[in-house]
Structure 1
Amino acid sequence: MPWWAGKDEIKEYLKEVNKNGKVNRSSHFPIASLANMFVQVLEYCLFQPGLFLNYLGTPNKTSRYLTPLNTFVDFQNRRGIVVDGHDPIITLTTVQDLAAVVAKAVDFEGEWPIVGGMRGNSIAVSKILEIGERVRGGPFTVDVVKMEDLEAGNLTASWKLEASHPSVSGGEATKMMKTVLVGMLLSSAKGAWEVSDEWNQLLPEFKFTEIEDFLRNVWEKKL
Structure 2
Amino acid sequence: MEVAVLDITGKDTGRKVELSSDVFGIAPNDHAIYLDVKQYLANQRQGTHKSKERAEIAGSTRKIKKQKGTGTARAGSIKSGVFRGGGRMFGPRPRSYSFKLNKNLKRLARKSALSIQANDNNLVVVEDFNFDSPKTKHFVDVLKALDLGARKSLFVLGSDNANVYLSSRNLKNSKVINASEINTYGVLNASKIVITESSLEEINTNLSK
Superposed pair shares fold, TM > 0.5: no
What is the TM-score of this pair, normalised by structure 2?
0.26
Q: Which has the larger radius of gyration?
A: 2
